[in-house]
Structures are given as structure tokens and as C-alpha cells.
């Protein structure tokens, strides 16, 4: 049969998606799509629908009104709300407004299950209504039959009085017999109806327990219809754990007592375990032979729930009593304390531990004569004594106390008194007030009627109406409080309708008419109303729920004389039920929206829940996995299968909570890391019902932890490297200290010998040579330190030009030739003349070759050999048309001490020397090779060190890329040497050190210059305008005005006053930053001290006579 669906949605794409989803989900339906409110109303009035779908957030707000309209026009038709952004609160509000369910448009795959569930619930509701109507109709028919029987009896009596003759009596008896047979048949039918439609299950079996007859209630408990139960043993529906007790009961049915009662579990294929109470009695034939049994089966699920609630209440009560400010105690039959709370111990002034197990006379001897007779009286009469005042002295300070004590017997269910309980309230401080209050209360109590006093203390509201007058004759205070209205008596019931501040509705939203209230119905029709729930809506917007019972009151003649209604406020209970429903709805919402996957599986490891987060994490949809076995998914990483199996066994065993971490596969085959938080649900017998697993994807966290571990390892390695570097630095500083001080010794020594005048010409020449060599050595050490500083800060720069490597190597060889000759070391060269030029800084390349050659000479013993080769390598050999990939290779090989294999990898590191001990044979800072490597790499080349080991010599190979375009053959690559003739050049020297001024004046005058030397910046400014020099040489570090300030002042002067004069900074501040500051201040060149005379003269010549 094709179902009829109505869709209210403005967007056609939404309608198409809904229709496609329903069709793909296998739902056979005709979907009527409307977009406006008027179309929606017309469709509801003209058609009958099985289901309504409505967009909640339409631009025209039609979706919100659709809920109210549908609930009024077709309350029994399920309605599902569709929305693109329905929050939790709005979702709950739609349910309150009458929606059956809601579905987000982003998760339209939920629509089909929601539709199926709504249709099932709607069908079940219709069937339940039909059953209730059938039961009501049967009851009405039975009542009519009873009335007819009663009327027939009246007619029969009248006939007997009128007819006196025997024949007539016989005829009447025959008629009565026929009527009696009909009545018996009707009564039998009535019994059969009562049997079939009784609210409790009723089963008749033979002596073997095979079902012969069963009513609908029994069949419903067992999940089938009555005809399916005939011939089936009742025992197959008994829970396995209770079967032995059932069989024992069946065997004992044929023996006294005739009535047997037992509680056990009933289970069926379609339903879970149901707790039931079974009352069984044997059936005997006319000869007294046991032929079968009747079984009354009552569902006690609600009672069991109430018992659980009672146990919880008992726990709360015990806690309440223990912490109550009212003293409480229980005495056994010997007046021994069995229980006492802290409040009672405090009142008595005796520790609680000194009460338990001791008699009243032992604990309170001064109170015992007063209290013991009362305890005896209560036990004997089994009657409580309330509000008994006692007075006496308590511990520990002989304080006179007044107490108000209630005594009540404590009895077993059979009536046996096992002791007396008391509650005690210390009323010493308010005794005088209490006496006056009691007097007033007694006066008031005498004026009250007993019946009204009872009604006043009842927690329920009570109203009584008179049947004759139809007026309200009694309404207790609780009624006024509950209904929030003071009822005036002796008015017709209908007259209260416009007076009360509320309107009453049944739970289906139907407004009560004046004649539909339970009290009115009982008064006018004699109807008995049991726990009818009503909603009272007040004009201020508040509302309450009440549960009402009403019944007619008949006199001894059976006349209806009045009706009484009793009601109680159940608002809190309703609110709790609503809160529970909302909490369940909220829980389901959070389950579907939590980032943790929610997976539930039963005892057979079959998946029963698969949340949206589970789909996101693992890739499988709920439709793919629900009903599947957990291990059939191949979800677990192979190496973790045994661990996961152990976790499953622990959960199947006795452990309620088990945490596990393992790796899992996604549907796409990716490996992810997950934490599983598992909890098992068990029944009362301890059997596992299901396991709920919360799964957190921690793949990112695991990767982060691995990255952190790797970073920690790197940090550890860096720390070790830093510690090693720090150690090397300390060793290096010690070497620097030694190497800088070593040249000072011969310089100072020979200088003092020269000053003494005791040396001849030859010795004097020797002294000057030693002083000059050691000064150059110290200057070289300082230059190396400055170069390393520039390298470490990335500030060392090049002045690239085409360089002839042959000339560069020869120039470097000249600087070490004397040292080689002193040690009788032979230097052999093989320099290819057609290698070509490289692009580089000629001075820095010469420094590279000089460093390598000086090391070779230093580490080669006397009589050794050093070989220098220059050749071309690569695809572009000499004359090749493609020289761009060619290199110039410089190889320097010596026969010296060689390099140890363990030190060879570190030979080019900063501050590293093979030995930093005080016993080392060779000096130096260990910086030369580090500078070599940096300079070579700065030129785009490479340097490599090779050695067969100590004593085997060493080979250093430098590879430099050749220029792609060579100059014409025979051209002069290197720049021409500048002239050193300063004839006629006027030079102004500024330095606060007299020795430096004298040295510079002598040096420059030897080259033909005209020099004026001044000691301060102010003298220099005065001389500048008078002398008009061609160039300025200025120190930087001077008192008052330094060199930077001086040159800045000069640059502010006009050109005719020397504002544009070339300037050279001469300073011991030799760092890269010092060079930058000098250039920024206005100097053209920066020459560090100690000065190289030739370089200084070249610089001056370059500035005063620049090349065109």
C-alpha cells in the first residue's frame, strides 16, 4: 500500500532531496509538496496523510505555525521537523510543540530511520486506541446485560405475585429456568470476556505445564497472540535462572496449600527479561484428581522499580536520620540502645559510642525512672505516645533540660513488637513559649470538628459536592492551596467555571467543559475516576499538573447522595518526567555530536550503536556496521589484536570499566591511534548486557609526542654540542692568550737590548728583523680573529674581480719562502699557465693559498718537501667551447706530520686544534683552516683535506669555478700596482698618541708627502682651514671629540673649506661594525691598526690620485 506524505518546504532543492532520500531508503510513498501556509491548510483538510514533513526555519515562519496547526487538525499523524541549523534548545522546543522527531538537512541520511520509527509508533498508537475502545465497548455491553438481567428478575417477581395457580407457577418456573440458563450463558460469556481482556495474564495448563488456554495479557507478555500459546509449555518462557524454582512450584501444585505464589523472570524472543509475580492454584476434577493448574501472571516491572526507589529512599532516610538535628533512638525489649543518632548523644551530653549496647538506666540513670514506664506502656499497648515532655539533669554539667519525646512501637509484619523508637527534641530554651502556644492550640482544637482536622492534615486536596443541590459543600485548605483559589461553599459547580483563575486541559490538550470535570461526572453519572491527570493553565502564564480521583457516594438504599474528589499536585513529578525525557534527548544529541566516537556492542560482540563521530573517525557509516560483529570489520591493527582480545575478555568477565590504547584501521586502510574507554552494563544476575565504548582519536597527539621526543633528542644533542663548543672555546681562549703573548716576549726583549746601545750593527739588524717578524705574527693573529668574527656574523664580504691564480699562488709563495728556506724545505710547483681566471677577491684568495702553504711549512720537518699544483678539471678543458662547468684545482701536498684519522673530520671547524695541551709542538690559534674553508665556499668552491695518518703528510685540495668568459689571451688580469710616490701631497694627521703621530709623519715624509700632525680634533679643524690638506688621516678613539664626530663636523663645511676632503680612519677598532660606522660617518676607507706601511701609502695614493 502506498503511503501518503505531506511536505511543507519552500526550497525546491530540499523537496527533491527529501523525495530522493525516501525513495532510495525503500519507502513507498506519494509525496505532496506545498510551499505556503494556505496550501498546507488546504492539503490537511482535503486529504488524509500518514506522515507530515515540515521545514522549521522557513523565511515566512510557516514551519513554526505548522506544528500547532498539524497537532490540532490531525493529532494522530506523526510530524517530523526538517532544519538546516536547529540547536539543542530549539530541537527540544519542537518536540514540546508536538513534533515526533527532527532531522538536520546536513544529515538527511537519518530521515529514513526517523520516518520508519514514526510510522511504527503511529500504527502502535492506533492499535492501542482500537483495543481500548473494544474493551470499553465490551464493558458497556456487560453493564447493559446486567441491567437487563435485573429488570428481568423484577418482571419475574411480578409475574409470580399475579399468578397463583400451580400450572402458572410451573410455567413461570420453566421460564425462569430458561432465563437462568440464558443468564448462565451470559455470565459465562462475561467470564470469558473478563478472562480475555483482564489486565493481568491468565493461563490454564495441564499437570505437565502445557498451556491449554491463555488470555491476551498473557500473550502480550510472551510476545505473541493467545492461539500461538496453545500447546506450548509455559516453562519455555521462564528465565533460565528461575526455571528450577518454576519446576519445583509445578511439582508442588497438587499438594496443599492450594495457592502458591512466586516471583521470577519471564522472557520472550521479542522482549527483554520481564519480572512477574505468578499466583498458581491446582485444578481438580469431580473426583478430586489433579488435572491442571490456573496461573495468574502479573507484570511487576513497575513494582520492582518502586522497590529499587524505596531502597534508595531507605539509604537517604538513614543518612537523613544520622544527620537530623532531632534526636532519635531505638530500644529493644530490654530497654537497651540498639540505635541512636548524633543529635540524641549531644542532647544527653554523652558520646554516641557510650550509648550503643547499654541500657537506658546505665546511660541515663536519672531519667530512667521516668522513661522506662512509658516504654513499657507503649510496648504493651502497641500505641504511640507522642509529644511527651520529660525533664531531668543531663551530662556533663548537671544541666536541667526539658525534652519533647515521641514514643512509638516498632513491630514486625505479624504484629510482634520488637522494641520502641523515640524522637527527642530539646525544648528547654523555648519551654515558656511552648506552654503558651500549647494553651492556644488546645483552645483552637476544641473549636474544630474532627473531620475538618483530618482534612486539614491530609496532603491531598478534597472536595465534596451534594447530589441533590449540585452544590460544593466541602473544600479543604489543601484544595485551595493546590488550585490557588479560595472556594466559597454552597455554590453550583457550574458557577465556579468563570471564577477560577485557570483553564483545565487533559494531557491531549483538550479543554475541559464544565460538565467534564471528574467531580461533576461522578456526581451526575456515578462514574468512578481513578488518577485522571489534568493540566491547569493560569492567567499569569503559570501551570500545574494534578492527579484527580473521584467517586460517587451511595446511601444504604443505593441512592447517590454525593460525590467526592481527591487530588494532588503532581507538577514536580511531571517536571521530573519532562526533565528525564529532555535529559535523554540531550544525551542522544550529545552522543551524536561529541567528537568522541560512541560505539555500543552486545554480549555477542554485535554492534548496536555507531555514532556520527565513529563514522568520521573510522570511515564506515552506521548502515554499514550496525548488526555486524565487531571483529568482522577488521578494525584492529594486526599487532594489537591479542591486546584487544584480552580487553574484550575482561569486559565479558567481571570488570565493569576497562581502558585500552591500540591502533586501528580506517575504512580507507589508514592506521590511526585510539584510546578506548569501555564500560559494561550488566543485569541483576551479573550477566553482561552490552558494552559502551567511547573512542578518542589521538593520532595527532601521538605524532606530537613523537615529535616532542625527537625534539628532546635533538635538544640533547644540541646541548652536548654546545657543551663541546664551550669546552673548545675555553681551550681556544687559552691558546689565544698564549699565542698573543708569545710574540711580545722577543719584541720587548730585543727592544730593550736596542735601547741599551750595546748591540753592534749586525745584532741590531737581527733585533729589528725579530721585532718586525713577531709584530707581523701578532698582526696576523689579530687579523685571523677579526676574520673569524666577520665569518661568524656573516659580515665578511668580497670585492670580486677576475683573478689570475698563477700570480696569486706566486705572491703567496713569496711570503712563506723565507720560512721554508730557514727549514731547508723544498717547494715544488706545477702551475698550468692556461687554466684561466676565476671571479674573486685576489687578496682573499692569496690569503687562502698563504694559509695552506704556511701550515704546510709549519708542520713539515726540516729537509721536507712541499708540492703546489694548479690545473684545470671538468668538461671544459683548455680550449673547450664550454668552460662554464670547469674548475681550477689547487693542490698543496706536504711530507709533514699528517693528520690523525679521528681529527680529520674536524680539521676545518672553528677553534679546533688537534692538541690544545701545553706540551703541543706547534703554535697558532686553529683558525686558519676555518677561514680557508669559509673563503673558498664564499667563492663558490670546495676545499678538502686528506691524510694517510700521522707521519704520512697531508694534501689540501681547493676547487674554484672558472669564469665562463675568459679575457683575451695575453691581457693583464690583475690591476696595475698603484704608485707609492706621494710627492707634493699635503696630509693632515690626527691622533692623540704621540708615537703614532711621529711614526706616520716619518713614514709619509719618506714618500715625499708634506705632513702636519695634530693631537686633538679642535686642532685639526683649525689646521684644516689654514693648511688646506689633500687628505685626512684620523684616529677614532680620542678624548672629548672622537674621529666619528670630527669627520661629521668636517662634512658640514663647504667644499672650499675642506668639507669634501678624502678621509681614512686609522683605528684599533677593527670589527665589521666599526668599518660600517666609519663609512656611515663620512670616511672613504677604514684601515685597522697595526698599520702595514705599504698598504697605507697605497690607500693614500689611491684616494688623492684615483684612476680615470
Give the angle 907-908-913 at the CA atoms, nearest 5°: 50
Confidence label for 59 from pLDDT (cuts 50, 70 and 90): very low
DSSP three-state, residue 161: helix
808 lies in the same domain as 923 = yes
Residues 514-547 as b or e (16 or more Cβ within 10 Å = b): eeebbbbbbbbeeeebeebebbbeeeeeeebbbb
Confidence of residue 74 (pLDDT cuts 50, 70, 90): confident
Collapsed DSSP state (helix, strand, coil) of residue 998: helix
Q: What is the largest CA-CA distance in the chain?
A: 193
Q: Note whether 331 and 297 are same-domain residues.
A: no
In this predicted structure, the answer to whether residue 322 has a pLDDT above a threshold of 80 is no
Give the mean model confidence (pLDDT) for residues 154-182.
Answer: 66
Rounded to whole angstroms, how far apart are CA atoms 734 and 1105?
46
User: Among 26-30, 719-723, 931-935, whose mean pLDDT is lowest?
Assistant: 719-723
What is the CATH number for 670? 3.30.450.20
Residues 357, 337: contact at Cβ < 8 Å? yes
Which residue has better confidence, 498 or 893? 893
Q: At what angle do helices 761-792 and 928-938 cross, to 10 degrees?
A: 50
Residue 501: which of 543, 547, 462 has the closest Cα? 543
Collapsed DSSP state (helix, strand, coil) of residue 377 = helix
The predicted structure's pLDDT at residue 505: 93
Query: What distance in Å separates the CA atoms of residue 433 and residue 453, rounded to the nearest whole number?
Result: 24
The enclosing domain of 853 has a CATH number of 3.30.565.10
pLDDT of residue 60: 44
Average pLDDT, integer, range 101-128: 85
Length of the chain: 1108
Q: Which of 54-58, 727-731, 908-912, 1072-1076 has the lowest mean pLDDT?
A: 727-731
Average pLDDT, the chain: 82
Secondary structure class of 809 (helix, strand, coil): helix
Distances (CA, A) of 523 to 466, 528, 678: 8, 10, 60
What is d(CA 951, CA 151) in angstroms, rounded to the nearest whole number? Answer: 142
Which of 305, 333, 364 is the endpoint of a domain? Answer: 305
CA distance 519 to 501: 18
Q: For residue 197, what pLDDT is reported?
A: 72
Model confidence at 1108, in pLDDT bands (50, 70, 90)?
very low
Contact of 664 with 672, CB cutoff 8 Å: yes
Last residue of a domain, one of 631, 665, 697: 697
In angstroms, what is the C-alpha Rg of the chain?
57
d(CA 364, CA 379): 20
Please list the residues that pair with 887 across neighbouring strands.
Answer: 873, 961
Give residue 118's pLDDT: 86
864: number of Cβ within 10 Å: 19
Is 895 a residue whose pLDDT tops 90?
yes
The three cell numbers of residue 1101 are 695614493
- The 3-state DSSP class for residue 471 equals strand
Write down the pLDDT at residue 272. 76
**pLDDT at residue 156, as a whole number:** 60
Residue labelled with grid coordinates 665578511? 796
pLDDT digits (tens, 9 = 90+) for 611-654: 888 888 889 998 988 988 877 878 889 888 888 888 888 888 87
Q: How confident is the model at residue 736, as a pLDDT?
A: 61
Helix axes 12-24, 111-162, angle to 10 degrees: 70
407 and 457 in a single domain? The answer is no
Domain membership of residue 825 (yes or no) is yes
Q: Does 966 have pLDDT greater than 70? A: no
Q: Are residues 471 and 422 in the same domain?
A: no
Asked, for residue 912, whether it belongs to a domain, the answer is yes
CA distance 490 to 472: 5
Residue 548 lies in a domain: no
Q: What is the DSSP string of 923-967?
A: -S-S-HHHHHHHHHHHTT-EEEEE-SSTTS-EEEEEEEEBPSSPP
Is 359 within 8 Å of 372 (Cβ atoms)?
no
Domain assignment present for 707: no
Q: In what order do the strands lie in the sheet with 472-475?
A: 472-475, 461-466, 560-569, 543-554, 529-538, 502-505
pLDDT at 537: 92
Range of the domain at 994: 986-1104
Query: Same structural domain for residues 950 and 885?
Result: yes
Planar angle of CA 11, 17, 19, nearest 5 degrees: 105
Same domain, 823 and 933: yes
Residue % of the chain over a pLDDT of 70: 84
Q: Is the pLDDT of residue 446 over 80?
A: no
Asked if 24 and 108 touch (Cβ cutoff 8 Å), the reply is: no
Contact 794, 834 (CB under 8 A): no
Q: Which of 390, 424, 445 represents a domain boundary (last residue)?
A: 445
Neighbouring-strand partners of residue 958 = 890, 943
Give buried/exposed letters for 365-387 (b at 16+ CB in 10 A, else e). eebbeebeebbeebbeeeeebee
DSSP states of 59-102: TTSHHHHHHHHHHHH-TTS-EEEEESS--HHHHHHHHHTT-SEE
Q: Centre a 10 Å sphere on the Cβ of residue 203 and count the other Cβ atoms it contains.
A: 26
End-to-end CA distance of the chain: 108
- What CATH number is given to the structural domain containing 1081? 3.40.50.2300
**Percent of the chain's residues with pLDDT above 90:** 20
Q: What is the pLDDT of residue 985?
A: 92
**965 exposed, middle or buried (CB, 10 Å; 0-12, 13-18, 19+)?**
exposed
Secondary structure (3-state) at 189? helix
Sorting pLDDT into bands at 50, 70 and 90, what band is 270?
A: low
Of the listed ranges 297-311, 349-363, 914-928, 958-972, the least confidently predicted one is 914-928
pLDDT at residue 922, rounded to an integer:
45
Looking at the domain assignment, is residue 374 inside a domain?
yes
Least confident of 59-68, 72-81, 758-767, 1019-1028: 59-68
What pLDDT is attached to residue 585? 76
Same domain, 441 and 509: no
What's the total number of domains in the chain? 7
Residue 319 lies in a domain: no
Q: What is the pLDDT of residues 976-999, one digit of tens each?
A: 445 678 888 999 999 988 888 888
Q: Answer whether residue 222 is part of any domain.
A: yes
Q: Is the pLDDT of residue 544 over 50?
A: yes
Same domain, 349 and 394: yes
Confidence of residue 203 (pLDDT cuts 50, 70, 90): very high
Cell of 741: 703573548
Q: Using an 8 Å Cβ cutoff, are 849 and 817 in contact?
A: no
Mean of the pLDDT values across residues 523-536?
A: 92
DSSP letter at 50 equals S
Cβ contact 651:615 at 8 Å:
no
Chain segment 646-690, per-residue pLDDT in tens: 888 888 887 888 898 999 999 898 999 999 998 888 887 778 888
33 prior amide bond cis, ω within 30: no
Alpha helices in 163-289 (DSSP H): 166-197, 216-221, 226-229, 243-252
Does some domain include residue 665? yes
| Position 428 pLDDT exceeds 90 | no
- The 8-class DSSP code of residue 976 comes to P
CA-wise closest residue to 420 among 391, 459, 386, 443: 386
Query: Where on the phi/psi map is residue 382: left (φ > 0), alpha (ψ -120 to 50), or beta?
Result: left
Pairwise pLDDT comparison (368 vs 770), residue with the higher score: 368
By the 8 A CB rule, do 895 and 864 touch?
Answer: yes
| Mean pLDDT value across residues 928-933 | 83
**Whether residues 493 and 564 fall in one domain:** yes
pLDDT for the residue 878: 43
Q: In terms of domains, do 437 and 461 share one? A: no
Fill in the DSSP letter of residue 210: B
pLDDT(437) > 50 = yes
The 10s digit of each residue's pLDDT in 1024-1048 is 888 889 999 999 988 889 999 999 9
pLDDT band at 749 (very low <50, low <70, confident <90, very high): confident
Question: Which CATH number fits the domain that encloses residue 466?
Answer: 3.30.450
Q: What is the pTM of this model?
A: 0.32
Q: Is 538's pLDDT higher than 90?
A: yes
Q: What is the mean pLDDT of residues 1035-1062?
A: 91
List CB contacts of 340: < 8 A, sequence separation 6 or more: 327, 328, 329, 330, 352, 355, 356
Residue 244 shares a structural domain with residue 300: yes
- Rounded-to-integer distance, Cα 718 and Cα 724, Å: 10
Burial class of residue 1013 (count of CB atoms within 10 Å of its CB; 0-12, 13-18, 19+): buried
Residue 880: the pLDDT is 43
Q: How many CA atoms lie within 13 A of 91 on its CB side?
A: 21
441 and 455 fall within a common domain: no
pLDDT digits (tens, 9 = 90+) for 461-516: 999 999 888 899 888 888 888 998 888 888 888 888 888 899 999 988 899 998 89
Are the beta carbons of 95 and 67 closer than 8 angstroms? no
Q: Which residues touch 838 (CB under 8 Å, ≥6 apart)? A: 802, 803, 805, 845, 888, 939, 960, 961, 962, 963
Average pLDDT score over residue span 219-228: 86
Residues 400-405 have a mean pLDDT of: 80
Q: Rounded distance, CA 404 to CA 385, Å?
A: 11
Mean pLDDT of 579-605: 79
Statement: residue 119 has pLDDT above 60: yes
Residue range 373-388, pLDDT digits in tens: 999 999 999 899 988 8
Amino acid at each position: 500500500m502506498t503511503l501518503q506524505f505531506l511536505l511543507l518546504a519552500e526550497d525546491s532543492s530540499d523537496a527533491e532531496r527529501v523525495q530522493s532520500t525516501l525513495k532510495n531508503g525503500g519507502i513507498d510513498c506519494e509525496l505532496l509538496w506545498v510551499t505556503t501556509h494556505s496550501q498546507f491548510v488546504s492539503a490537511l483538510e482535503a486529504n488524509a496523510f500518514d506522515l507530515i514533513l515540515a521545514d522549521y526555519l522557513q523565511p515566512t515562519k510557516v514551519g513554526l505555525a505548522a506544528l500547532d496547526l498539524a497537532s490540532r487538525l490531525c493529532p494522530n499523524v506523526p510530524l517530523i521537523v526538517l532544519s538546516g541549523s536547529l540547536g539543542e534548545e530549539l530541537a527540544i522546543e519542537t518536540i514540546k510543540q508536538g513534533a515526533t522527531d527532527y532531522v538536520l538537512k546536513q544529515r538527511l541520511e537519518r530521515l529514513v530511520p526517523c520516518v520508519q520509527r514514526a510510522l511504527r509508533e503511529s500504527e502502535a498508537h492506533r492499535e492501542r486506541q482500537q483495543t481500548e475502545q473494544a474493551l470499553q465497548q465490551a464493558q458497556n455491553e456487560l453493564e447493559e446485560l446486567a441491567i437487563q438481567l435485573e429488570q428481568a428478575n423484577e418482571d419475574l417477581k411480578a409475574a409470580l405475585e399475579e399468578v397463583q395457580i400451580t400450572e402458572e407457577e410451573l410455567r413461570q418456573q420453566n421460564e425462569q429456568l430458561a432465563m437462568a440458563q440464558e443468564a448462565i450463558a451470559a455470565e459465562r460469556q462475561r467470564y470469558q470476556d473478563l478472562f480475555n481482556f483482564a489486565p493481568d495474564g491468565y493461563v490454564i495448563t495441564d499437570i505437565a505445564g502445557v498451556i491449554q488456554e491463555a488470555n491476551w495479557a498473557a500473550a502480550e507478555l510472551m510476545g505473541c497472540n493467545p492461539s500461538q500459546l496453545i500447546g506450548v509449555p509455559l516453562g519455555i518462557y521462564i528465565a533460565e535462572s528461575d526455571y528450577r524454582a518454576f519446576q519445583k512450584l509445578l511439582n508442588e501444585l497438587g499438594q496443599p496449600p492450594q495457592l502458591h505464589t512466586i516471583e521470577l523472570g519471564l522472557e520472550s524472543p521479542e522482549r527483554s527479561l520481564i519480572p512477574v509475580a505468578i499466583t498458581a492454584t491446582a485444578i481438580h476434577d469431580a473426583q478430586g484428581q489433579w488435572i491442571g493448574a490456573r496461573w495468574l501472571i502479573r507484570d511487576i516491572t513497575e513494582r520492582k522499580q518502586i522497590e529499587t526507589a524505596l531502597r534508595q529512599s531507605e539509604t537517604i532516610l538513614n543518612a537523613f536520620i544520622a544527620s537530623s538535628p532531632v534526636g532519635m533512638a531505638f530500644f529493644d525489649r530490654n530497654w537497651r540502645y540498639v540505635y541512636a543518632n548524633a543529635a540524641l548523644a549531644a542532647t544527653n551530653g554523652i558520646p554516641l559510642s557510650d550509648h550503643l549496647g547499654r541500657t537506658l538506666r546505665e546511660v541515663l540513670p536519672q531519667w530512667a525512672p521516668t522513661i522506662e514506664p512509658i516504654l513499657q506502656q507503649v510496648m504493651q499497648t502497641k500505641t504511640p505516645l507522642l509529644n511527651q515532655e520529660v525533664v531531668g539533669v543531663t551530662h556533663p554539667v548537671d544541666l536541667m533540660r526539658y525534652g519533647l519525646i515521641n514514643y512509638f512501637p516498632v513491630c514486625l509484619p505479624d504484629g510482634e513488637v520488637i522494641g520502641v523508637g523515640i524522637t527527642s527534641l530539646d525544648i528547654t530554651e523555648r519551654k515558656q513559649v511552648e506552654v503558651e502556644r500549647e494553651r492556644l492550640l488546645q483552645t483552637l482544637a476544641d473549636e474544630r470538628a474532627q473531620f475538618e482536622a483530618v482534612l486539614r492534615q491530609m496532603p491531598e486536596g478534597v472536595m465534596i459536592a451534594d447530589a441533590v443541590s449540585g452544590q460544593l459543600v466541602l473544600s479543604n485548605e489543601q484544595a485551595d492551596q493546590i488550585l490557588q483559589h479560595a472556594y466559597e461553599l454552597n455554590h453550583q459547580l457550574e458557577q465556579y467555571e468563570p471564577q477560577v483563575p485557570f483553564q483545565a486541559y487533559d494531557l491531549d490538550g483538550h479543554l475541559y467543559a464544565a460538565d467534564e470535570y471528574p467531580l461533576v461526572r461522578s456526581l451526575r453519572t456515578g462514574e468512578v475516576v481513578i488518577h485522571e491527570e489534568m493540566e491547569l493553565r493560569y492567567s499569569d502564564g503559570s501551570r500545574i499538573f494534578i492527579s484527580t480521583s473521584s467517586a460517587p457516594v451511595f446511601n444504604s438504599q443505593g441512592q447517590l447522595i454525593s460525590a467526592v474528589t481527591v487530588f494532588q499536585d503532581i507538577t514536580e513529578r511531571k517536571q521530573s518526567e519532562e526533565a528525564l525525557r529532555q535529559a535523554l534527548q540531550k544525551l542522544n544529541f550529545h552522543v551524536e555530536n561529541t567528537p568522541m566516537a560512541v560505539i555500543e556492542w552486545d554480549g555477542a560482540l554485535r554492534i548496536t550503536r555507531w555514532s556520527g563521530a565513529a563514522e568520521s573517525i573510522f570511515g564506515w557509516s552506521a548502515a554499514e556496521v550496525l548488526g555486524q560483529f565487531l571483529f568482522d570489520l577488521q578494525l584492529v591493527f594486526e599487532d594489537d589484536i591479542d591486546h584487544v582480545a584480552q580487553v574484550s575478555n575482561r569486559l565479558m568477565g567481571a570488570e565493569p570499566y576497562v581502558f585500552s590504547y591500540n591502533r586501528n584501521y580506517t575504512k580507507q586502510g589508514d592506521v590511526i591511534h585510539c584510546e578506548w574507554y569501555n564500560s559494561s552494563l550488566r543485569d541483576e544476575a551479573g550477566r553482561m548486557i552490552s558494552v559502551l565504548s567511547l573512542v578518542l582519536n589521538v593520532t595527532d597527539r601521538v605524532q606530537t609526542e613523537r615529535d616532542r621526543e625527537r625534539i628532546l633528542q635533538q635538544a640533547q644533542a644540541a646541548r652536548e654540542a654546545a657543551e663541546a663548543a664551550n669546552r673548545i672555546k675555553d681551550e681556544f681562549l687559552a691558546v689565544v692568550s698564549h699565542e698573543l703573548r708569545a710574540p711580545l716576549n722577543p719584541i720587548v726583549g730585543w727592544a730593550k737590548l736596542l735601547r741599551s746601545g750595546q748591540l753592534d750593527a749586525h745584532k741590531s739588524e737581527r733585533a729589528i728583523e725579530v721585532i718586525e717578524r713577531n709584530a707581523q705574527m701578532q698582526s696576523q693573529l689579530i687579523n685571523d680573529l677579526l676574520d673569524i668574527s666577520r665569518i661568524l656574523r656573516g659580515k665578511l664580504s668580497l670585492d670580486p674581480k677576475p683573478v689570475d691564480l698563477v700570480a696569486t699562488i706566486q705572491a703567496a709563495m713569496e711570503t712563506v719562502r723565507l720560512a721554508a728556506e730557514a727549514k731547508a724545505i723544498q717547494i715544488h710547483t706545477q702551475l698550468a699557465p692556461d687554466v684561466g681566471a676565476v671571479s674573486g677577491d685576489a687578496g682573499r684568495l692569496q690569503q687562502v693559498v698563504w694559509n695552506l702553504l704556511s701550515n704546510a711549512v709549519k708542520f713539515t720537518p726540516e729537509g721536507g718537501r712541499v708540492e703546489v699544483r694548479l690545473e684545470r678539471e671538468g668538461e671544459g678543458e683548455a680550449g673547450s667551447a664550454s668552460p662554464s662547468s670547469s674548475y681550477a684545482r689547487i693542490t698543496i701536498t706536504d711530507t709533514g706530520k699528517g693528520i690523525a684519522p679521528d681529527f680529520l673530520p674536524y680539521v676545518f671547524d672553528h677553534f679546533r686544534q688537534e692538541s690544545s695541551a701545553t706540551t703541543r709542538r706547534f703554535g697558532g690559534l686553529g683558525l686558519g683552516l676555518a677561514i680557508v674553508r669559509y673563503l673558498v665556499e664564499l667563492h663558490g668552491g670546495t676545499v678538502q683535506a686528506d691524510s694517510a695518518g700521522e707521519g704520512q703528510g697531508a694534501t689540501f685540495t681547493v676547487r674554484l669555478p672558472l669564469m665562463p668568459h675568459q679575457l683575451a689571451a695575453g691581457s693583464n688580469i690583475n690591476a696595475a700596482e698603484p704608485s707609492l710616490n706621494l710627492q707634493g701631497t699635503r696630509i693632515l694627521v690626527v691622533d692623540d698618541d704621540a708615537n703614532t703621530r711621529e711614526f706616520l709623519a716619518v713614514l709619509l715624509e719618506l714618500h715625499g708627502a708634506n705632513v702636519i700632525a695634530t693631537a686633538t680634533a679642535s686642532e685639526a679643524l683649525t689646521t684644516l682651514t689654514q693648511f688646506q690638506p689633500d687628505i685626512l688621516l684620523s684616529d677614532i678613539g680620542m678624548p672629548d671629540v672622537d674621529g666619528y664626530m670630527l669627520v661629521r663636523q668636517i662634512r658640514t663645511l663647504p667644499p672650499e673649506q675642506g668639507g669634501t676632503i678624502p678621509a681614512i680612519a686609522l683605528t684599533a677598532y677593527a670589527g665589521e661594525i666599526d668599518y660600517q660606522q666609519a663609512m656611515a660617518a663620512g670616511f672613504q676607507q677604514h684601515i685597522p691598526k697595526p698599520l702595514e706601511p705599504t698598504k697605507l701609502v697605497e690607500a693614500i695614493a689611491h684616494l688623492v690620485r684615483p684612476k680615470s
